[in-house]
Structure 1
Amino acid sequence: MRRVFIASLLTGLLAAPAALAEEDPFLWLEEVQGQRALEWVKAQNAKTLAVLEKDPRFEAFHQEALAFLTATDRIPTPELRAGGVDNFWQDAKNPHGLWRHTSFDSYASPNPEWTTVLDLDALSKAEGTHWIWKGSDCLPPADQRCLLKLSDGGKDAVTVREFDAASGKFVDAGFQLSEGKQSVDWLDADTLLVGRDWGGDTLTESGYPFVLKRWKRGTPLTEAQEVFRGERTDVQASPTLLRDSEGQLQGVLVNRAVTFFESEFYLLGDKAPTRVPLPGKASFQTFVQGQVLFTLEEDWGRFKQGSLLAYVLADLKKDAASARPTLVVAPGARQSIDSVAATQTRLLVNMYEDVKGFIDVYTPTKGKWTRTRLALPKNASVGITTTSSAHDRFFVKSQGFLEPTALWLGDARTPTVRKVKSLPARFNASTHRVDQYQAVSKDGTRIPYFVVRPKTAKLDGSTPTLVHGYGGFQVSKTPVYQPEVGKLWLERGGAYVVANIRGGGEFGPRWHQSALREHRQRAFDDFAAVLEDVIQRKVSSPRRMGIYGRSNGGVLTSVAMTQHPELFNAAVIESPLIDMLRYHKLPAGASWVGEYGNPEVPEDAAFIAKYSAYQNLKPGVHYPKPYITTNTKDDRVHPGHARKFAARLEAMGLPYLYYENTDGGHSNDADPLLNARRWALHHVYLAQQLMD
């Protein structure tokens, strides 16, 4: 068995935890739909709901969450299509959602007049399937013939169906692809570029496609012609179609993701694919005015890590080897590029400095880029919401911990923005304040964190405090307006902390890479340093402090449990990775070996085994009682992680709560009705542990 094999390899390298030397007794819980596993889940759910749903606070929490998650005065998130604005809308009457469309002027008005393009609730009812919207890809310039991506219950795997947005109907005998983790793009009205499982080991070990084929309308899928092939050991191969402002195809760029963080980029043409000269750690961003934009995650010649570069597409087509990029922007030491997008003639670059955002508009002029900063709120989070290559209008948003989200309509040519939508306040923010502090980690690195707390709270350690962390995949934790936190937690006297630990992207690739693989312990040390600093400042105390982490944040919170159980009294561990010596065997874990290391390699297994919470639980230790929750249809982070951790706690006689949703997928928020229940359960648990 795998654990016996790893244990023998580690002899002499470390003192292996006792659980490592044994066959895993809970492997059967990895059978997602196994009868025994589902019976266990059903029994666990019943026990947990008896504790949480019967709490007198549950109904109030549930109704409050339901009110803001289904409120009709929410900002309808815009997407630009067909000369107007699309929105996908969910509420109490439409939990599956409405895909709808309106004009620019109508959208900017207080009461837009929407035309329904597709009713997913009606479709789900008619077809007897719990369809979850995963987006559309419409063929420019008309943007009326679309490929719809629909998920059964929220899985990452989707079914693709051709749809006529003008008539609101699926196309008879149109393009259709059965369920799978796949990519699909329009080459022209009668040709698609498809990456999927073609049979015969054409998915990577991570479960994603690495073979791309050209599929002509009216021909069987089996006759699609191969245009690109990576390797099965890659993460995946995915295409990006480079189109001009008229919607004409100018090139096809393929990202061969060799690992999660290392790529090779190729241009497809009539001959063999041409490789774009870039280092292994680089990311495609966008295409504008004939230029292809990339960011660097490592130093490369005269260009520094974190920089944004531009290649002229024509130069790459003519002779890629001799093409030379130009520098657009190189972030400073306390800065990072969060996102990049293009309009018809301009480039938008969203950056952060000391975890506070801004957006610059860049204009290409005679081989150089001139910059103008948009007049958006300072000391807040800002983000690019949507752009179009057909014109220079765009939408951006701003928000803060205590400032409701606002939506701004911009013109990149001017460049100016004006506020067009504001989310009504969902909780009373006047009673709270926001402070930013720095903790000192074990190696002396300063770790910033935010504290949102009542203005009148005494600094005596008595305030119930919830600490959020993530620390992975270059994901930044910026100030975000969260009604569920504000209404269910802050209004009831709680405080809220966001830790900007290493592994995230708050200060660019360097901040992320400093906690990769064998350096992962730094992220855990950073998180512990923040907890200790919160205690030292007497904002809270171990009795009144809890932690929350989801997905990669589940690695963080489960490790915090095993390494520092004395620092807190509650842990919400949601959709987590936990068994880190087996994560690569569970879909889609193999894609993340660049982040965590490969347990198949003895040296990697050695440092992973030192922190993996599943193996480091010890009998007789007083752990805080965690609330572990996941989703049966999560096909990104396998539910077996959460199940097995709960089962091991149970076998050791240690306290825990476990709950598994049956729908929703990895994000857990695809259905607003289920999502309201989810947040109510979270906060009942937190109130029991930290407020009672």
Structure 2
Amino acid sequence: MPAAPKAHKAPFLKTAILSVGIVATMGAAHAEDAPQMKDAADPFAWLEAVDARQSLDWVRAQNAKTETALAATPQFKQLEGDIRGILDSNAKIPGVEKIGAYYYNFWKDAQHQRGLWRRTTLDEYRKAEPTWETVLDIDALNETEQRADGEKWVWHGASCLKPAYERCLIALSPGGSDADVTREFDLTTKTWVKDGFYRAQAKGGLGWIDQDRVYVYTDFGAGSMTPSGYPRIVKEWKRGTPMSAATTVYEGQADDMYIAAFHDDTPGFERDFANRTLAFYNDELYLRGTDGKLAKIDAPNSANKSVHKEWLLLELRDPYQAGGKTYASGSLIATKFDDFMAGKREFTTLFAPSERTSLSSYAWTKSHLVLNVLEDVKNRISVLTPAPLSDSKGEWKREPFVGAPTLGTVSVGPVDEDESDAVWMTATDYLTPTTLAIAQLQPGMSGKQPEVLKTNPVFFDGSNNVVEQHFATSKDGTKVPYFLVKPKNLKRDGKAPTLLYGYGGFEISLTPGYSGSVGKGWLEKGGVYVVANIRGGGEYGPRWHQAALKANRHKAYEDFAAVAQDLIANKITSTKHLGVQGGSNGGLLTGNMLTQYPDLFGAVVVQVPLLDMKRYSHLLAGASWMAEYGDPDTADWEFIQTFSPYHLFDAKRTYPPVIFMTSTKDDRVHPGHARKMAAKMLEAGKDVTYYENIEGGHGGSANNAQAAHMSALAYTFLWEKLK
């Protein structure tokens, strides 16, 4: 990230859908023959012209230098091949989603670079080698539908209409950008619906209401998009009519962030909602009546609001006073939805945080609510059962989830929340390949172990490694957890090549996970791998996130530096052998490590980053992150400039070697950030490497080949600098 805004799907706000749309950031500057832009204050502003010939010529020249310096050796080719083999492995767990009677999977491998959407039955899925039925082949689609611009389609997902599951709305992105198109697909014939619903390339989406109606939020023309480049208007669109005839459901204000609507198709509890996102952590939810009128759900804007069957759940980011009680920030509270809309304010507390715990997630099944709690960045799962609908004052029953590991990362989600109490459970850690199990939630679940269905292969030799958790002390005395993956017999002589990874933003937690690429590219060579759980993330809930917002952003960087200092003090490594890596908001993090703490590190990897914090809110989706960083066009600039790497750079200082990596097709975080920073440092004669993938979007790559190449470049750069 930085994160895309959430577009919400019924029955509750559970799915972060990739935001989508066209944003003309620089107007004519995107044209192939755009002239060089002159800016006395910023001599590298011309590199913000994403597709201008001059910009791309600069990019290709830098890419060629990087390929020559890093990618020409047999060792690089071997590593790239190893990572590609991991990504293409047919032995990986094919994650599935139940849609009707079938279990669907989107799959990429060496033969299917862009991927297959395919399906099978649960009985088949239990087999070591299931038989799959292809539903849509994206590679074949790219062959038959060659775009005039030469871009190839990248899968963005499907939404299928209950209960028949005969029609789907499929999103496809050109080249991997957030901007995509939506097309209607017939699951029975496995063909596109002639004259079906179609949304042209833009940020936004389509969502089913019924067979003949959808909600559409997209680029309707001048004035219909927010300053962040997302939809400002949502409409109801009827089949057989032009989109221009769609009726407006809700129109946001000019400075809002994202407007959407969705239909809750839970049997017996069908409802419609409109959602107004003013900014991150600030949204309003409205119930749409059969007459089209909207009734606001009068809960705090900062709370995550979800409606499921008869229940309203509020996940609080700030303290909330209701019914004569105060509920703590970080709590999950529940009440009957109809009672709340009638003015009653009596809640049941389902979770309240402690100093060591936070709510990671929650998920409904047909009869239960599964809570996933982080305790010092370790998952703890419990199952809650609400009282029957007829019992107005009944207590929620709470039981432990049986069979979940106590270490590593555990996630639990419903198989079919409308039809069953079955759940998927995945478990993993840095040295243990991911397992996928299925479990049936029943009263008195003690002793009923989950059924393991799939296990990922061992992609690297981690037998000589061990995982530890430590705590560093930050500048203000805060204890900051971090995970350390190291050889069991590591000599504490300060010579181990060590890679420190972090993010620290948007309330996103970094929990342990098995990565074949990290294993092959780093651990198997004898390197030490460290993940820092710094403030700005969500490891300890809203308080951990809010501690590093805006003027307090420096606390995230102090936390990260404290972890680096702890590694050096304990002689795990030393400055010349310590590298850092981060992407997006993590790229801003490592950009600040580069400019504020250059004496701590021997090499720095900065991926799809924000770096020019004076310009960020004017580039692509940047305006949507002002709740996180502040508004640089106001007095906020006084503190924002203290963490703007582009402005902190001093040509007179000595900096460690750095590689900047980004994507031309990233339409969330503008590639101009990385381009300009690299150019500025190169002009000053610094040790700078640059690589920009022409495809890929914010994820950096559009297929496994590109992903393997990008990873191999980063690990090769780091190993050469730190060994």
Which TM class, normalised by the smaller chain length?
Answer: over 0.9
What is the one-letter code of the residue matched to 2:60?
Answer: K
**1-side partners of 2:363 and 2:598: how far apart?**
43
Query: C-alpha displacement at 1:266, in angstroms?
Result: 1.2
| 2:295 is aligned with 1:274 | yes
Partner of 2:691: 659
Query: C-alpha displacement at 1:663, in angstroms?
Result: 1.0
**1-side partners of 2:118 and 2:526: how far apart?**
39
Partner of 2:12: none
Decide which of 446, 452, 467 is 1:419's aligned counterpart. Answer: 452
Query: C-alpha displacement at 1:611, in angstroms?
Result: 2.0
**2-side partners of 1:641 and 1:401: how far apart?**
31
Partner of 2:545: 512
| 2:397 is aligned with 1:370 | yes
Distance 1:157 1:385, change over 3 A: farther
| 2:670 is aligned with 1:645 | no
Partner of 2:424: 395
Q: Is the 8 A contact 1:241 1:249 kept in 2?
A: no
RMSD after superposition: 1.5
Partner of 1:13: none
Partner of 2:178: 156
Partner of 2:282: 262
* Residues 314-325 of structure 1 aligned to structure 2 (within 5 Å): 314-316=338-340, 319=342, 321-322=343-344, 324-325=346-347
Partner of 2:255: 233
Distance 1:560 1:615, change over 3 A: same
**1-side partners of 2:433 and 2:358: how far apart?**
24
* Residues 105-124 of structure 1 aligned to structure 2 (within 5 Å): 105-124=123-142
Q: Is the 8 A contact 1:80 1:386 kept in 2?
A: no
CA displacement, residues 47-80 of structure 1 (integer Å, 9 cap, x when unaligned)? 1111011133211111110111000000001111
- The SS at the match of 1:111 is coil
Q: Is the 8 A contact 1:55 1:684 kept in 2?
A: no
Q: Is the 8 A contact 1:139 1:189 kept in 2?
A: yes
**2-side partners of 1:126 and 1:256: how far apart?**
39
* Residues 539-554 of structure 1 aligned to structure 2 (within 5 Å): 539-554=572-587
Query: C-alpha displacement at 1:669, in angstroms?
Result: 4.2
Q: Is the 8 A contact 1:91 1:672 kept in 2?
A: yes
Partner of 1:189: 211
Query: C-alpha displacement at 1:279, in angstroms?
Result: 1.3
What is the one-letter code of the residue matched to 2:708?
Answer: A
Q: Is the 8 A contact 2:215 2:262 kept in 1?
A: no
**1-side partners of 2:208 and 2:340: how far apart?**
22
Query: C-alpha displacement at 1:324, in angstroms?
Result: 4.0
**1-side partners of 2:205 and 2:639: how far apart?**
35
**2-side partners of 1:58 and 1:241: how far apart?**
50
- The SS at the match of 2:112 is coil
Q: Is the 8 A contact 1:548 1:573 kept in 2?
A: yes
**1-side partners of 2:106 and 2:349: how far apart?**
37
What is the one-letter code of the residue matched to 2:58?
Answer: W
| 2:524 is aligned with 1:491 | yes
Q: Is the 8 A contact 1:100 1:115 kept in 2?
A: yes
- The SS at the match of 1:402 is coil
Query: C-alpha displacement at 1:310, in angstroms?
Result: 2.5
What is the one-letter code of the residue matched to 1:151?
Answer: S
Partner of 1:242: 264
* Residues 667-678 of structure 1 aligned to structure 2 (within 5 Å): 667-678=699-710
Partner of 1:82: 100
Query: C-alpha displacement at 1:167, in angstroms?
Result: 1.3
What is the one-letter code of the residue matched to 1:613?
Answer: P
Partner of 2:437: 408
Partner of 2:535: 502
| 2:372 is aligned with 1:350 | yes
Partner of 2:468: 435
What is the one-letter code of the residue matched to 2:609?
Answer: P
Decide which of 702, 713, 720 is 1:681's aligned counterpart. Answer: 713
CA displacement, residues 468-524 of structure 1 (integer Å, 9 cap, x when unaligned)? 010000010111111111111101010000000000000000000000000000001
What is the one-letter code of the residue matched to 1:545?
Answer: L
How many residues get paired?
A: 665
Q: Is the 8 A contact 1:78 1:386 kept in 2?
A: no
Q: Is the 8 A contact 1:29 1:37 kept in 2?
A: yes
Partner of 1:605: 637
436-445 or 588-597, larger mean C-alpha shift: 436-445
Q: Is the 8 A contact 1:474 1:512 kept in 2?
A: yes
What is the one-letter code of the residue matched to 2:334?
Answer: A
**2-side partners of 1:240 and 1:306: how far apart?**
26
| 2:479 is aligned with 1:457 | no
What is the one-letter code of the residue matched to 1:371?
Answer: R
Distance 1:589 1:534, change over 3 A: same
**2-side partners of 1:483 and 1:107: how far apart?**
24
- The SS at the match of 2:279 is coil
Query: C-alpha displacement at 1:597, in angstroms?
Result: 0.3
CA displacement, residues 92-113 of structure 1 (integer Å, 9 cap, x when unaligned)? 0001111011111211222211
Query: C-alpha displacement at 1:125, in angstroms?
Result: 1.1
Query: C-alpha displacement at 1:323, in angstroms?
Result: 5.2
**1-side partners of 2:295 and 2:344: how far apart?**
12
Partner of 1:447: 480
Query: C-alpha displacement at 1:200, in angstroms?
Result: 2.9
Runs of 4+ in 1 over 4 A off after TM superposition: none
**2-side partners of 1:661 and 1:271: how far apart?**
46
- The SS at the match of 1:45 is helix
Partner of 2:604: 571
CA displacement, residues 551-594 of structure 1 (integer Å, 9 cap, x when unaligned)? 00011000111111011111110000111111000010000000
Query: C-alpha displacement at 1:83, in angstroms?
Result: 2.4
**2-side partners of 1:661 and 1:386: how far apart?**
36
- The SS at the match of 2:61 is helix
Partner of 1:15: none
Query: C-alpha displacement at 1:346, in angstroms?
Result: 1.8
Q: TM-score, normalised by structure 1?
A: 0.94
CA displacement, residues 434-455 of structure 1 (integer Å, 9 cap, x when unaligned)? 1111111111111111110011
Query: C-alpha displacement at 1:122, in angstroms?
Result: 0.3
| 2:225 is aligned with 1:180 | no
**1-side partners of 2:377 and 2:684: how far apart?**
41
Partner of 1:55: 73
Partner of 1:10: none
What is the one-letter code of the residue matched to 2:116?
Answer: L
**1-side partners of 2:339 and 2:193: how far apart?**
39
- The SS at the match of 1:666 is helix
Partner of 2:14: none
- The SS at the match of 1:90 is strand
Decide which of 226, 233, 241 is 1:204's aligned counterpart. Answer: 226
What is the one-letter code of the residue matched to 1:384?
Answer: V
Distance 1:451 1:168, change over 3 A: same
What is the one-letter code of the residue matched to 1:109?
Answer: K
What is the one-letter code of the residue matched to 2:423?
Answer: F
What is the one-letter code of the residue matched to 1:260?
Answer: F
Q: Is the 8 A contact 1:531 1:567 kept in 2?
A: yes
Q: Is the 8 A contact 1:288 1:344 kept in 2?
A: no
